[in-house]
Amino acid sequence: MDDIDERLAAFSRLFAEHAGASAEAIENAANTGDVQRLQQLCHSLAGRAGMFGEAALGEAASRIEQALDAGQSPQSLSAAIDGLTALLRVVHARANP
């Protein structure tokens, strides 16, 4: 494994290790109705997830971000948000058995 591969693997592990905190932040923003924060979190997650091979996670975050941009409320997206946070917890659990 060369230096770049090692760095990418390390970043991937960090992403997975922090997925639980990301789930909590998303839940908090949704529960408090902080649409701007929820949009920011989903936007960031959508970009990062793809870089680390978590396409389903990125797509879920992107769909929520787009729905919020279209004016939907966090309450109307609760099932999608629950699904996203469940995916994040799976990613976290893989890194933290």
Give the mean model confidence (pLDDT) for residues 69-88: 97
pLDDT in tens, 19-69: 999 999 999 999 999 999 999 999 999 999 988 889 999 999 999 999 999
Two structure tokens written together for 26: 């998303």
pLDDT for 4 equals 86
- In the block, tokens 């890194």 appear at 95
Burial (CB < 10 A; 0-12, 13-18, 19+), residue 88, is: buried
Residue 1 binned pLDDT confidence (cut-offs 50, 70, 90): low
- Residue 95: which pLDDT band, with cuts at 50, 70 and 90? confident
Rounded Cα distance between 12 and 23, Å, is 17
Confidence grade of residue 9 (pLDDT, cut at 50, 70, 90): confident
